[in-house]
Structure 1
Amino acid sequence: MTRAGVYLAHPRPGSFNHAVFDAVVEELRDRGCEVVAHDLHAEGFAAALSAQETETVRSAGDADDARVALHRAEVATLDVLVFVHPNWWGMPPAVLTGWVQRVLVPGVAYKLGTGEGEPEGLLRARRALVVNTSDTPAEREEAEFGDPLHRIWTACVLPYVGVDDVRRVVFRTIAGSDGATREGWLREARRLAAALTD
C-alpha cells in the first residue's frame, strides 16, 4: 500500500489552498493510499529552528520538540510527498520553510560525506507533487522572477533528500478567479494526485 504524506501551508481556514489539500487527500485515500495529512498552521507547527537543532542530528528521535520528532519519524516512512502552498514573495510560507529546515535534517532525510561530495538522500519517497497558488501571471513570473519556487523544490530541496520525480503545478491567478475555474483546478489537482499512484 502506498503511504503518502500531504502537507498544507496556508494560515486561513477556507482558503483555496485548503480546498486543494482536501481534494488531494480524498483522491489519494479513494485510491487506497494510506495518507498522513498535516495542516501545519492548524497543528501549530513551530517554524523557528533553534540553535540546538543546528547541531548534527543522528536520528528522528533526537528532536526535543515532540511534534518535530513525529514528523521526522513519519517522513522516513512515506512513499509519496505532496506539498500545497501559495507563492509568497517567491518562497513557501514560513511554516513550510521551517518544516523543511526542522524535519528534513541530516540523519533523517540525507547524509553528507559521500565520496563524490554530494549528499545521499535517505528518504524512501521517490515521487513528489508540489501544488502552488499564485496571483502573478505566468509570463511575469518567468520574465521578472525566473520562477524561484520551481528551483526551490526541483533543485534545492527534494532531489537533495532523494526524491527524483518532482511534479509541480501552479494555479493562477487566484484573485478574481470564478467558481468554475476553481473547480477545474481541483479536478486537475485530483488528476495529478492520482498519477502519483501509477
Structure 2
Amino acid sequence: MSKRIVILSGHPGTSSFSAALAEAYADGARANGHEIRVLNLGAMQFDPNLAEGYNRIQPLEPDLVSFQDALTWCNHFVIAHPLWWGSMPAKLKGLFDRTLLPGFAFKYQDNSPFPAQLLKDRSAEVLVAADTPVWWLYLVLRAGGYRAMKSQILGFCGFKPVRFHTFAPLRGSSPEKRQSWLDKARKLGGKI
C-alpha cells in the first residue's frame, strides 16, 4: 500500500550527511511507489523562538505553515538529523516548538491531565547521524534525546510507532562506511 511520506533533513545547514541520509531514504521510498515530500530545515526561514510560550499567538511564517500542511498530509514522518549535545539541533527543536501547537498537534482536555493527540494514525522514523559510538549512546548515556523525541515530542502528538536508526560513529568513518549507511537508509525507505 502506497504511503504519503514527509522526509525532513533536520540539519540547520543546507548540505550534510543528514541530508544525504534523507535523500537516500527518499530514493528507496520513491522506488516503491510512495508519495514523497522532502523538506530541508536549513532552507526554512522562521524564528525558532516561541517567545511567549502559549500565552500569545505568534503568527507562523510561510515555511512553518508549509511544514504543518505536510504533517497533516503525511501518514509517515521521517526526520534525519545530527546528534548535537545528546539531542537535536536547536533549529529543529525550534521548528517543533513553533509548529506542534495546541489545536494542531494536541488539544488539552477538561478533567484529564493527558491531551488529545491530534496527529494520530501516523508513524515516524528518526535517522540519527552521531559521532558517539552506538553502544556508548545507549548503554552509558541512555539516549536521552531519543527518549524525548519518542515520548515527549512525536508520541505526545500521536505518532506511533516511532523507530530510531543510528549511523555512528560518523567522525573518522571511511567513505565505504558512509556509503554502507546511505545504502541502509535507502533500504529503510524501500521497505516502509
**The two structures share one fold, judged by TM-score above 0.5:** yes
Tell me the residue number matched to 2:122: 126
Task: For 1:61-76, list aligned pairs within 5 A.
Answer: 63-76=59-72
Contact 2:10 2:41 in 1 (8 A): yes
Task: Kindly provide the CA deviation profile for residues 117-163 of structure 1, in whole angstroms up to 9, marking residues without a partner as x.
Answer: 21221115521110001111223323442111220122111111111
Task: Kindly provide the CA deviation profile for residues 74-117 of structure 1, in whole angstroms up to 9, marking residues without a partner as x.
Answer: 21121000000010001100111011111111111111116542
Structure-1 separation of matches of 2:4 and 2:51: 30
User: Of the two structures, which has the highest relative contact order with CA contacts closer than 8 Å and spacing of 6 or more?
Assistant: 2
Tell me the residue number matched to 1:92: 88
Tell me the residue number matched to 1:185: 181
Structure-2 separation of matches of 1:184 and 1:28: 17
Question: TM-score normalized by structure 1?
Answer: 0.86
Task: For 1:105-184, list aligned pairs within 5 A.
Answer: 105-113=101-109, 115-184=111-180
Tell me the residue number matched to 1:3: 4
Letter in 2 for 1:130: V
User: Where do 5+ consecutive residues of structure 2 fail to align?
Assistant: none
Task: For 1:47-62, list aligned pairs within 5 A.
Answer: 47-51=48-52, 54-55=54-55
Letter in 2 for 1:107: G
Q: Alignment identity in percent?
A: 28
Q: Which runs of 4+ in 1 moved over 3 A?
A: 11-14
Give secondary structure in 1 for the equivalent of 2:164.
strand
Contact 1:3 1:35 in 2 (8 A): yes
Task: Please state how far the C-alpha of 1:193 moved relative to its aligned partner.
Answer: 2.1
Task: Please state how far the C-alpha of 1:11 moved relative to its aligned partner.
Answer: 3.5
Structure-1 separation of matches of 2:20 and 2:49: 27
Structure-2 separation of matches of 1:162 and 1:13: 29
Give secondary structure in 1 for the equivalent of 2:156.
helix
RMSD of aligned alpha carbons: 2.1
Q: 2:190 aligns with which of 181, 191, 194?
A: 194
Question: TM-score normalized by structure 2?
Answer: 0.89
Task: Give the aligned length.
Answer: 191
Task: Please state how far the C-alpha of 1:56 moved relative to its aligned partner.
Answer: 7.1
Structure-2 separation of matches of 1:85 and 1:75: 17
Tell me the residue number matched to 1:22: 23
Structure-2 separation of matches of 1:109 and 1:56: 17
Task: Kindly provide the CA deviation profile for residues 26-60 of structure 1, in whole angstroms up to 9, marking residues without a partner as x.
Answer: 22222222211111112334322232x62477xxx
Deviation larger for 162-171 or 182-191: 182-191
